[in-house]
Amino acid sequence: MKKSDSNPNTIYIKNMVCNRCIKVVNYELTALGIKIKKISLGEVQLFKAIAPSTFEKLKSRLHSNGFELIEDKKAMLVNQIKGIIISSIYNDTNTSDRGQNYSELIEQKLKIDYHYLSSLFSSLESITIEHYIILQKIERVKELLKYGELTLSEIAIKLDYSSVQHLSKQFKKVTGFSASEFKKLTNEFRKPLDKIY
């Protein structure tokens, strides 16, 4: 069983993109009798290492729920970057990251040079971190537009756009629709967060 070199009691899980994902992973680990110290998007810290037979069962159970254990260190870093971005964009209760530059936020949380992380991300995902952030933000805009609770100006502020015009231009470029055209569509044209790239 290969896990993080820095902490053998930490496992990394691909496709954890929301709080429901955390609940499902928590349930599966608990069902196997695995004691969890801390769980967050894409990462689980355990009190002790998992026995090889239990590890294989966990792998299978997670796979049946659409998750995948990550055993490569570089893939783990990319997964952590995605988790930081998604958490920052979708977590309405945590405003501490708001207004902070994403490169600074990622570098601060991972304590690794951003230029290295950016290069690694691009090489493994065939997309830049910046473009990934844009795609994630546009999916969040789609969600907020469908809810209809916020104006486009409020959405722009919520997602740290410099202006409504910037948001509108980016939305049209990515989706092919203006925000008002998108709101009128019957099909949502939304993508699962783990399929954005």
Give the residue extent of every domain in the chain.
10-71, 75-195
**Angle at the Cα of 19 from the Cα atoms of 13 and 21, rounded to 5 degrees:** 40
What is the share, in percent, of the chain residues with pLDDT greater than 90? 64
Fold of 75-195: Arc Repressor Mutant, subunit A (1.10.10)
Average pLDDT over residues 92-112: 77
Fold of 10-71: Alpha-Beta Plaits (3.30.70)
Q: Residues 52-80: pLDDT tens digits?
A: 889 899 999 999 999 999 888 899 899 99
> Which amino acid, residue 13?
I
For 19, other C-beta atoms within 10 Å of its C-beta total 12
Buried b (16+ CB within 10 A) or exposed e, 93-102: eeeebeeeeb
pLDDT band at 196 (very low <50, low <70, confident <90, very high): low
Q: Residues 20-52: pLDDT tens digits?
A: 999 999 999 999 999 999 999 889 999 998 888
Contacts with 180 (C-beta within 8 Å, 6 or more apart), sequence order: none
pTM of the predicted model as reported, rounded to 2 decimal places: 0.74
pLDDT band at 98 (very low <50, low <70, confident <90, very high): low
Contacts with 100 (C-beta within 8 Å, 6 or more apart), sequence order: none
Q: For residue 3, what pLDDT is reported?
A: 41
